[in-house]
Amino acid sequence: MPLLSVSDLQVRYGHIQGTQSVSLAISPGETVALIGSNGAGKSSTLKAILGMVPYARGDIQWQGNSLKGRKPHEILKAGIGFSPEGRRVFAQLTVRENLRVGGYSRSAHEIAARTEQIYQYFPRLKERYKQDAGSLSGGEQQMLAIGRALMSFPKLFLLDEPSLGLAPIIVERIGEILLEIQHTEKLAIVLAEQNANWALSVAHRGVILEMGCNVDAGDAAALRDSPKIRSAYLGV
């Protein structure tokens, strides 16, 4: 049984369509790249999974149970972590305080132990643990956003455009850390990304979205050469 399955998902924002028909299945321990140009439906798919937007058609199953009608905090508590587009760290809180917010549902002992584990993944955060998050660089804020989401011990980790606005060398480092986290914790990861080459270099599988629909899917390495990549990004 898949950890998460999305079937024929249609998301609408009034008269604007976020997705037309998106389907995907995520197995435990795999990384899937959800790729496509801006407006393809990537973020809408993640927001629907998280209960942040309603969907007009289709279903989302988490460990065999429908998420229809579930509140975002219930979904997060059930084991789905989220790092949003634009990072959205709490600028006036310190690095350590941001991490504690991510572990709000855990005991003090679990928070302390998990914080040290996050520092192992991101030594830069340990160096800056007393620093306000708003004073960090973009790359450091992305590391903090990832660390904050991991504080809840998710089984599935959703990341929305984690490479956005970052220098290529920082993007590569983020990819290396995600590979380490996935290998160490055996959690499932979904990367919603415009940067197809990078996302597919990190993922086991890829799903290409175009105009709110699946247009191709398969092994990540093979998908990098798919003509559907060119179509999805350039419309040709």
- The set of residues, in sequence order, having a beta carbon less than 8 Å from that of 185 and lying 6+ positions away, is none
Same domain assignment for residues 115 and 144: yes
8 with 73, same domain: the answer is yes
Same domain, 144 and 200: no
d(CA 84, CA 24): 20
Which of 100, 124, 153 marks a domain boundary?
153
pLDDT in tens, 99-115: 999 998 888 999 999 99
Could you read off the pLDDT of 88-99 as tens digits, one per residue? 899 999 999 999
Q: Is the domain of 60 the same as that of 160?
A: yes
Q: Specify whether 65 is located in the same domain as 172.
A: yes
pLDDT digits (tens, 9 = 90+) for 193-212: 999 999 999 999 999 999 99
H helical segments located in the chain: 42-49, 72-77, 95-102, 108-121, 123-127, 138-150, 168-185, 196-202, 220-223, 227-234
Structure token pair of residue 111:
């928070």
Q: What is the pLDDT of residue 131?
A: 95
**pTM to 2 decimal places:** 0.92
- Is the domain of 53 the same as that of 106? no
Torsions phi, psi for 14 (to 5 deg): 65, -120
- Segment 182-196 shows an average pLDDT of 94
Of 153, 176, 191, the residue at which a domain comes to its end is: 153
Domain range holding 46?
A: 4-79+154-234
158 and 227 assigned to the same domain: yes
- 3-state secondary structure (DSSP) of residue 8: strand
Q: How many domains does the chain have?
A: 2
Question: What is the Cα gyration radius of the chain?
Answer: 17
